[in-house]
Every structure is written in structure tokens, then in C-alpha cells.
Structure 1
């Protein structure tokens, strides 16, 4: 095997290893530990990325919360944490084309992104083991927020296919996926009504949505905002938006969920995103059409605090770990 290195190890790293977040048991953020681990090496068809930022998502703590869920994602102990990453290629394995040491990249590395290095498949065969070139004009923190949320939002919108004649109700519009879903629906020309807390109204307006408070009476509040009705709905949190959409006459074929299963309704996830979705989203960020609000950034040593904030599920924007 031939491995091409991008240069010496990062200043401050010990020669014998690198930092990575590890869990020795499945459970909550209190179990996250920063460890020194051997530096991974790029094998054939792989690239090694020196990570500069890792973005957090609700799925990061959900899939490591218990053994049964972890097993469904193929995770065994000890395991890492986080999936979204951005950084710089510093090794390429035999047979790799299209990437070279020094290239700025972003992508997904399932439950191992919060680390100094990740090794990923250069062909990007799966959504959780992939690498993409970071466009000029997209900083690493922003690039590290795109993969999971961007793919999921793209998949959900593809399921309902919004356009200029649509009024779309998006449940949980202020969360990490909502940031993308609202803006992508608006870019498609749709009118967007987004559910959230009363305190999130300004945040939702900033994304391009008309805010409406979730909870009892939601259907009546949506009717008041859209007396001519809504034509599509995406539920990014649970099932409340699904039930309201049905009550308002939206057919199941134009309703989508990401966090719940409802008979007759499409359930989308990042793996079902259309081909090229991430590159399209990154391009929209690069040209200023789509923006990603950053709620908070933490050093890797504060990963527990970052994960606790993410698990609270009331964050407006994305959370990033700096490495």
C-alpha cells in the first residue's frame, strides 16, 4: 500500500497518538471521555482527514444512548462520538483519485467525528462514511454542520416536493434540520409556516418562515395564518405536525416525518437524500443563498457540555466542537 502524507503531525499533538472522544459504555453525555488513541492510517481507497471542526446532531447522542439503538447502527464498544466533520486531507490511500493532501473537505464519519483524525471512504458509498470538497467561501465550522442535517432536510423536502404554489407547514422548524428545511423550501419558492416556541419566533422569521407556536390549538393557529390551507407538511420533531396536516386536509403523499413512523406517511433520513444533495447545499452556502446559524462552539475538552446542550433540543442553530 502506498500512503501519501500531507506533512508532519499537528503542532501540540503527541507523536504516539491523537485525541478522540470515546465511550466505554452506552449512555448519556456524562460518559464522554477525551482519550489519546493511535493515529488511524488511510488504507486503499481511503483518505485521512485532520479534523478542524465537528458538528453535533441529536442522532449523535440518540444512537449511543443505549445498546439496542447502537446495535442498529452497527456500533460496538468502545465507540466514538459525532458524525459531521470538516478539515484537511493529510493522507490518501492507494487508488484514491480526486483528493490530495491539503484539500479542504467535509463529510460524515458515523460516531467517530469528534477526533483529531478520521479515515473515510474516498468514494462516499454511504452517508455515514463520506468526504466532499469544501467550496471556497464556506468556513470549516459551517462545513462541519452540513452533512447530517443537510442530507436529512433534503430528503424530507424531496418527499413532499415543494414549489411556488405550495404553503408548507414545517414542525420543529427552529432545530438543526429545520434551519436547512425552511431555507430549502423557501429557495424552492414555497411559503413556509414553521412551528416552534414563542421565544423562537424571531429566529424562525430570520430563516424565512412565518412562526406559529406548537401545542394545543395548533390547527386553528395555522388556519388563521393560511385560510386557503396548507398543501404539504414536514414533521421534524414527532407527530404533532402530521396530525395537524391531516386535519387540515393535506394528503399523506405530501406529508413526511424524520423522527417518527406514521402509517401511510413517508419517513425520510439522510440516506434517502437525492444524489448531489450535499454538494448543492454547500454551493448554496458558498454563494450566500443559504446560511447556517451557529448556536455555540466548544473545545473538544468541553464535549460533555456541548452534548448536554445539544440533547436539550432547544438550541437555535448548530453546535460545533473545535479541534
Structure 2
């Protein structure tokens, strides 16, 4: 099979299409012919700096990607809830920029018929990260939440989930993304100097929760606005989070969490914004697109 992989860490051009043996499903597993695979900052960190995800091992040549959607073409023993031909979406760490992926059945759910392949390939990682974060921060009806980098991949999901759970959302973004955030249901605010005062003007009764998907500066601004440090969290500034005694948040994926996201999509309460798609052989260009910064929604590889 063809897959986009790296033989060393470095700039985007180290990501190349290579030949690999086609994997086979074992007991309790299924094999999926991949149609789409989302791209995450997670993937860029592995490629660019040699970062090794906790509990993982990098073995060159290393396939990248950790979310996918496709059609089951092989079913292992002891699998009863899925069949060949089923359309599914799910996750598999460091495996998804490929024509085929093998996963356990507790890593997939059925794809809704009205969900496009690109949308399905882009939901799992960012959607579950956003869901995990808001759950850990205890977002509830009546809360006011500040979401940093609200127009990005994770931020787009976080805005919509917070709204679905009854919160008022203020989202930081560049001016050109303000109308996009309004359509998602957020109150937009420009990031940068004096952000805290701009937010206070929008939330005279205060901010209850802050979720950072941007970095150190955003986390520091959050401390000025949210009194309870247990309700300030970050998915990027882990070192600073430890120093400031706020929550470092890492995605906790589960079929239950993914099923809730898919249900919200089916109910029309969750949009999946696709910024741009690239074919598998242009995976390096897809990484460059994300590194350009300030984009809306997700970048996706189309495969097969």
C-alpha cells in the first residue's frame, strides 16, 4: 500500500509517499480502506522536531496521521458489530496517512450517510480534544467561556460544543475570522495586546472558563480573567501550565465520546469546517498549509 511517512524529522519535504506492506485484521479488529485522513498539529510535531507522543515509539520509516474515515474491507475474528462494506470513522495513532489502516473495533463508529468523507476524516481528533477539554473544565449551561484560537481546528469544535451545552462563548481570532465565529455562535474578539480589557468589555459579569489552544500569551491573559485556576486549561502550553498551576489537557478518546459528536452532527448541532483538501501525494503541502497559521477549521488528505 501507499502511505505518507517520514524517515527522519525535519521540514515538510521529509514527508514522502512510500510503499508499505498492507496490514491485516486480527481478532477483534477490522481493516479500513481509507478515504480521508485529517491532519493535526500532533502530526506536525512528530515530523518537525522528532517529538515522541507519550507511550509511543517512533520507528522510521514512520507513517503519520491519527484520524481517518473509510470503508471496511476486512473483518477479523470475534467482530460482530461491523461488516465488510460498512462506512466508518475513527482513530489510530501514527497510522492514518495510508491507503489502509487496521484498528480495534473500540476505535471506530459508523459514519452517518449525510456526512462527507472529508468531514468524517476530520472529526475524530480535534472533536474529541475539544470535547475532553470542555468536559474537564466543567463547562455548563450559563457559563461564559473564553476560547483562544477559536477559528482553528480544535477551536471550531470547542465553540460549537460549548454553545450546545448552553454556555456563552467569546472566541479570539484575527479580524478576518470574526464573521466565521459569529456564524458558529461565538462573540469574536481580536487577540493581541490588551486582550483582557477587550474581553471584560464583552463580558461585564466576568468569565468563568478559559480554554487555550493558542499558546503561552493566551494562557497568561486567561489568568487575568478567570479566578478559578481549575477552570483554565491548555492543550498546547504544557510547561507554562505546570508553572501556573492550571490544567494541562490531553485528549481522552473513546467510542462514547466520538458517538456523542457524531450524534450532534446528525442533529445539525455540529458543523465540520474543511479549510482545504490535498491528495495523499501532497501531504507535505498539507503540512505547509497548517504551518502558515491562522486558518479556519481542518486540513484533510483525500486517499484512494
Question: How would you bin the TM-score normalised by the shorter chain?
Answer: over 0.9
Once residues 312 and 77 of structure 1 are traced to their aligned partners in structure 2, the CA distance between those partners, rounded to angstroms, is 26
**Where do 1:2-151 residues align within 5 Å?**
18-69=1-52, 73-122=56-105, 124=106, 130-151=107-128
1:184 aligns with 2:184: no
Give the match's secondary structure for 2:177.
Answer: helix
1:295 aligns with 2:275: yes
**Where do 1:121-270 residues align within 5 Å?**
121-122=104-105, 124=106, 130-261=107-238, 262-263=241-242, 264-270=245-251
TM-score by length of 1: 0.88
Once residues 101 and 300 of structure 1 are traced to their aligned partners in structure 2, the CA distance between those partners, rounded to angstroms, is 24
Once residues 225 and 254 of structure 2 are traced to their aligned partners in structure 1, the CA distance between those partners, rounded to angstroms, is 28
Match of 1:307 among 270, 273, 287: 287
Once residues 34 and 135 of structure 2 are traced to their aligned partners in structure 1, the CA distance between those partners, rounded to angstroms, is 31
Match of 2:263 in 1: 283
Q: Tell me if structure 2 keeps the 8 A contact 1:138–1:282.
A: no
Once residues 236 and 296 of structure 1 are traced to their aligned partners in structure 2, the CA distance between those partners, rounded to angstroms, is 20
Once residues 194 and 50 of structure 2 are traced to their aligned partners in structure 1, the CA distance between those partners, rounded to angstroms, is 38
Match of 1:6 in 2: none
Give the match's secondary structure for 2:2.
Answer: strand
Give the match's secondary structure for 1:142.
Answer: helix
Q: Tell me if structure 2 keeps the 8 A contact 1:299–1:322.
A: yes
Give deviations 1:263-317, integer Å, cap 9, x for gaps: 321211222x576111111111122111011111111121111111022232211
Once residues 255 and 110 of structure 2 are traced to their aligned partners in structure 1, the CA distance between those partners, rounded to angstroms, is 15
Q: Which stretch has the larger CA shift, 20-29 or 62-71?
A: 62-71
Give deviations 1:107-144, integer Å, cap 9, x for gaps: 1121221111001112x3xxxxx222112322221111
Q: Tell me if structure 2 keeps the 8 A contact 1:170–1:241.
A: no
Mark the runs of 5 or more structure 2 residues left unpaired by the alignment: none
Give the match's secondary structure for 1:34.
Answer: strand
Once residues 246 and 307 of structure 1 are traced to their aligned partners in structure 2, the CA distance between those partners, rounded to angstroms, is 32
1:253 offset after TM fit, Å? 1.4
1:72 offset after TM fit, Å? 5.7
TM-score by length of 2: 0.93
Give the match's secondary structure for 2:182.
Answer: helix
Give the match's secondary structure for 1:30.
Answer: helix
Q: Tell me if structure 1 keeps the 8 A contact 2:45–2:51.
A: no
Match of 1:319 among 287, 299, 302: 299
Name whichever structure is richer in helix by fraction.
2
Once residues 254 and 6 of structure 2 are traced to their aligned partners in structure 1, the CA distance between those partners, rounded to angstroms, is 33
Give the match's secondary structure for 1:145.
Answer: helix
Give the match's secondary structure for 2:218.
Answer: helix
Instruction: Say what the alpha-carbon RMSD is for the aligned residues.
Output: 1.6
